[in-house]
Structure 1
Amino acid sequence: MLVVILSLIGILIIAYLLFVNFYPSFGGDISKERQKEYEKSRNYKDGKFVNQKDVPKDLSFGETVKLAYAFFTTKVPNGRPKQNLEVEKLDSLEVADYKGGSRLIWYGHSAFLLQMDEKNILIDPMFGEVAAPHPLLGENRFNREMPLAIEQLPKIDAVLISHDHYDHLDYKSIIKLKDKVEIFYVPLGVGVHLEKWGIKKKSVVELDWWQEVNYKGLQFVCTPAQHFSGRKFGGNQTTLWSSWVIISATDRLYFSGDSGYGNHFKEIGKKYGPFDFAMMECGQYNTRWPDIHMFPEETAQAGLDVSAKIVMPIHWGAFKLALHSWTDPIERVTQKADELGLQLVAPQIGEVISLNKLDQRVTDKWW
C-alpha cells in the first residue's frame, strides 16, 4: 500500500512539473541575470520582492490545500449572478475614430480601455473566460460577451499591467493583443512572461515603484501597492506588483491594482494628487487575507487618502474569487462612501465613462 501511495504521489508530481513546464499560460521564470538587476531595487530582498509591511504570510503546502478546499467546497449565497451579465456593446468604428476628451470603458473586474489624448491604452487587459492557468481550474466570468472583442479593437498605443496574477495578466488575451500593441509598461519582472509569449524585449518597459516614464505627452508612474505575485508554486514574489498613476495635460487618473489598505495611498495622493478619477480595488476580500485585498469600507477610505474627486470601485463584477456574494463589494462601498461624502460611479460593463461629464452622471444600480 505504501508503494502504491508513493507511486501515485510521484505520478502527480511528474504530471504537475510537465504541466507547468510545457503549458504556456504559466509564463516565464526569472533568470539569475535578472535577479542581479532586481537586487538594485529597495523592494527586493533575498531573491523576492517585498511590501513596505511584512505581508503576506507565506502559507505552507497544507495551509494552501486547506484554503483551496474551502474555496471550492463552500457554497456562497448569491456568489454569481443568476444569469450572464449584459454588457453595453461598443461600435468598433466609433472607438477607432474617437478624438474627444479622456474616457474609459470598463470590461469588468480591473480591465479598462482608456482613450486619452487620441491614444488607446489598455489597463490589466484580462479578457479571458477563466482567471486560472487552465479552463478546468476556475469558473467562467460573469459576462459571456465583451463590449468590444480584441479582434475589433484599434491599434493599442500602450498597455499597463499591475501584476502577474491570472485575473490581471491573461495569456490568451496577450497572444491576441501582442501584434496590436506598441509598448507594454509593467512592474519589475513581469516582462519575463511577455517575452516568453513572443513579445520582443524592446516592446516591454519594466519599472520599479516611483519610477516615471513619459509616453508621447502622457506620464505613467509605477506606484506602490500592498499585494504579492506568482503564477505557480515556487514563483511567488519573484515579480513586482504595483498601482499606476496616469497624467495628461488635462487629467489625472489613479489605478490601484490589487492592494491591501496601507500608508502608500496617502503617499501617492500627496505626491501626485489630487486625482480627477481613481479606480480602486473593491472585491475578492476575506478575513483570511486582510493585508492583500481591501474590504469595501477600506476602499472608500483609500479613495479619500489618494485625494480622488471621484472613485470607481473595481475588481468585482466579473469573477468569483472569494467567498462573498457578487454584489457585496458594491453594496458595502456605496454605503461607506455615502457616510464619508465620497462621490462614486459604478458603470455597467461597456458603459462609456467620460471624465468631463462625471459631475452630471447618475448611475442606476444595475446590479
Structure 2
Amino acid sequence: MIIAITIIGVLILAYFAFTNFYPSFGGDVSKQQQLIYKDSKQFKDGKFTNINPVPKELSFSETTKLAYTFFTTKVPNGRPKKDLKVTKIDSTNVANYKGEARMIWFGHSSFLLQIQGKNILLDPMFGKVAAPHPLLGGNRFNQEFPLAIEKLPQVDAVIFSHDHYDHLDYQSVLKIKDKTNHFYVPLGVGEHLKAWNVSESKITELDWWQETQLDSLKLVCTPAQHFSGRKLNNGQSTLWSSWVIQSNEENIYFSGDSGYASHFTEIGNKYGPFDLALMECGQYNEMWADIHMMPEETAQAGVDLKAKKIMPIHWGGFKLALHEWTDPVVRVKVEAAQLNIEVITPTIGEEIRVKDAINTSINWWDNL
C-alpha cells in the first residue's frame, strides 16, 4: 500500500511539474481576466459553456475508460500507407500574389488565405504531433508542407478557433509570431500567446458575435459547440469559436471544431450565403458526437449555412479518432450529393479559388 501511494504521489508531482514548467501547455487565465469574462453570456461559474448543455462532464473512471479504448483499439486503415505527398507552391508566387481570393490547405484545419492583398493564416498548426510533447502523439500524415514555414511572407493576421493541440501549437507560434502583425482569437486564448511572448498589443480577443475590421475585411467570431483546455485542470477556461471572413467580394466561413447544432442556421441567416465553407469533418465518434460532427451532419451544416460549396477539413492530418482515415471524406461526399450541395476536396497545397473553386484532384486518397 505504501509503495502504491508513493507511486501515485510521484506521478501527481511529475504531472504538475510537467504542466507548470513545460512551455507548450501555454498560459492560465487569471482571476482578474475571469472578472472581465463575466460580461460574456458564455461564461458561467468560472468556465465557458455551450448554448446546449454539452459536453458531458466525464468522471475519472469514464475518462480512463475512454482513453484506454482509444489507445488500445486497432483501426484498420487508420493512417495512410505512406506519407501524403503535397503540392508544392513557390515562395515567390505567394509573396507576390495580388490576384483573386485564394486558399492553400496545409492539412487538417490549417490554411493560408490570400485575400484583398493580405496574408491570413487559419489555425496554423505545423507541428509533428497534436500533443504537448512529441512522445505523446502520433506523427501527422504529411512530413512536408506546400511551403516551408520559414518561407512564408509577412503575415497580416493569424486566426485561431480554440486552444486544442491540433489547432494551437507552441512551436508553430514561435515560428510565425515575429512575422505576424496581429492575432485574432476567442476569449482567453490570448493567454497562451502571451505566455509564448507574443505582445499583448498584437492580440485581439473576441466573444461570439463580436466583429472587428482588418482594413477592408470584416472578421466575425461566431459560435461553435465544442470545448477547450490544454491540461487536466484548465478545461473550458478559454472560449472556442468559428469565424466569418468577409470582403466586399468574398464571404468565407471557417468552422473550427463543432458538434452539429442550431448555430449553423443562425450564422447562415445572419452572415450567409457563403462562397466557401471550411467544415469540420473528421475525428468523430458516437461517444463524442456532441462536440464533433459526423460526416452526414457536416453536409447538413453546409446547407444550414447557405454555403455554395463546402470543403471538408479536420481530416487528412492526424489520427485522433477510431475511424478509417478516408471515412470522413467518403461519407460527406455521399451525403452532400443527396442534399445537392457541392463539395471540393483539393490535395494538400493545391490552390483553392474562393469564388470558383473546382475539383481537379478527384478522390486523390484512393489506394493510399
Q: TM-score, normalised by structure 1?
A: 0.99
Cα offset for 1:250? 0.4
Q: Measure the CA separation in 2 of the matches of 1:308 and 1:291.
A: 22
Contact 1:122 1:160 (8 Å CA) reproduced: yes
The question of 1:93 aligning with 2:96 is answered no
Contact 2:129 2:140 (8 Å CA) reproduced: yes
Query: 1:298 corresponds to which letter in structure 2?
Result: E
Q: Which residue of 1 aligns with 2:265?
A: 266
Query: 1:363 corresponds to which letter in structure 2?
Result: S
Q: Measure the CA separation in 2 of the matches of 1:103 and 1:187.
A: 24
Q: Measure the CA separation in 1 of the matches of 2:323 and 2:287.
A: 12
Q: Which residue of 1 aligns with 2:283?
A: 284
SS at match of 1:206: strand
Q: Which residue of 2 aligns with 1:247?
A: 246
Structure 2: state its 5+ residue gaps.
none
Q: Measure the CA separation in 2 of the matches of 1:343 and 1:120.
A: 26
Cα offset for 1:234? 1.2
Q: Measure the CA separation in 2 of the matches of 1:361 and 1:26.
A: 38
Q: Which residue of 1 aligns with 2:228?
A: 229
Q: Alpha-carbon deviations, 1:246-272, whole Å to 9, x = none? A: 000100000010000000000000000
Contact 1:49 1:237 (8 Å CA) reproduced: yes
Q: Measure the CA separation in 2 of the matches of 1:350 and 1:18.
A: 39
Q: Which residue of 2 aligns with 1:189?
A: 188
Query: 1:121 corresponds to which letter in structure 2?
Result: I
Q: Which residue of 1 aligns with 2:212?
A: 213
Q: Measure the CA separation in 2 of the matches of 1:13 and 1:21.
A: 12
The question of 1:114 aligning with 2:113 is answered yes
Q: Measure the CA separation in 2 of the matches of 1:267 and 1:362.
A: 32
Q: TM-score, normalised by structure 2?
A: 0.98
SS at match of 2:211: strand
Query: 2:76 corresponds to which letter in structure 1?
Result: P
Query: 1:333 corresponds to which letter in structure 2?
Result: V
Q: Which residue of 1 aligns with 2:47?
A: 48
Contact 1:92 1:148 (8 Å CA) reproduced: yes
Q: Which residue of 2 aligns with 1:5?
A: 4
SS at match of 1:75: coil
Query: 1:98 corresponds to which letter in structure 2?
Result: Y
Cα offset for 1:355? 2.1
Contact 2:346 2:359 (8 Å CA) reproduced: no
Q: Measure the CA separation in 2 of the matches of 1:202 and 1:64.
A: 38
Contact 1:345 1:363 (8 Å CA) reproduced: no
SS at match of 1:278: strand
Q: Which residue of 2 aligns with 1:366?
A: 364
Divergent runs of 4+, >3 A: 360-363
Structure 1: state its 5+ residue gaps.
none
Q: Measure the CA separation in 2 of the matches of 1:357 and 1:340.
A: 20
Identity of matched residues, %: 63
Q: Measure the CA separation in 2 of the matches of 1:310 and 1:60.
A: 40
Query: What does 1:141-220 correspond to in 2, within 5 Å?
Result: 141-220=140-219
Contact 2:276 2:355 (8 Å CA) reproduced: no
Query: 1:125 corresponds to which letter in structure 2?
Result: P
Contact 2:104 2:113 (8 Å CA) reproduced: yes
Contact 1:280 1:312 (8 Å CA) reproduced: yes
Cα offset for 1:363? 3.4
Q: Measure the CA separation in 2 of the matches of 1:182 and 1:5.
A: 51
Cα offset for 1:62? 1.7
Q: Measure the CA separation in 2 of the matches of 1:215 and 1:253.
A: 15
Contact 1:261 1:291 (8 Å CA) reproduced: yes
SS at match of 1:67: helix
| RMSD over aligned Cα atoms | 0.7
Q: Alpha-carbon deviations, 1:33-68, whole Å to 9, x = none? A: 100000000000000000000000011122111111
Query: 2:13 corresponds to which letter in structure 1?
Result: I
Query: 1:44 corresponds to which letter in structure 2?
Result: F
* Count of residues paired in the alignment: 365
Cα offset for 1:361? 4.2
Q: Measure the CA separation in 1 of the matches of 2:356 and 2:293.
A: 28
Q: Measure the CA separation in 1 of the matches of 2:255 and 2:240.
A: 10
Contact 2:27 2:195 (8 Å CA) reproduced: yes
Q: Measure the CA separation in 2 of the matches of 1:268 and 1:16.
A: 40
Q: Measure the CA separation in 2 of the matches of 1:207 and 1:76.
A: 39
Q: Alpha-carbon deviations, 1:58-87, whole Å to 9, x = none? A: 111221111111111100010000000000
Q: Measure the CA separation in 1 of the matches of 2:349 and 2:179.
A: 20
SS at match of 1:176: helix
The question of 1:24 aligning with 2:44 is answered no
Query: 1:131 corresponds to which letter in structure 2?
Result: A
Q: Which residue of 2 aligns with 1:296?
A: 295
SS at match of 1:297: helix
Cα offset for 1:357? 3.1
Q: Measure the CA separation in 2 of the matches of 1:355 and 1:210.
A: 23
Contact 2:346 2:352 (8 Å CA) reproduced: yes
SS at match of 2:178: coil
Query: 2:364 corresponds to which letter in structure 1?
Result: W
Query: 2:300 corresponds to which letter in structure 1?
Result: Q
Query: 2:253 corresponds to which letter in structure 1?
Result: Y
Query: 1:304 corresponds to which letter in structure 2?
Result: V
Q: Alpha-carbon deviations, 1:74-133, whole Å to 9, x = none? A: 000100000000000110011000000000000111000000001000000001010000
Q: Measure the CA separation in 2 of the matches of 1:235 and 1:183.
A: 25
Query: 1:337 corresponds to which letter in structure 2?
Result: A
Query: 1:41 corresponds to which letter in structure 2?
Result: S
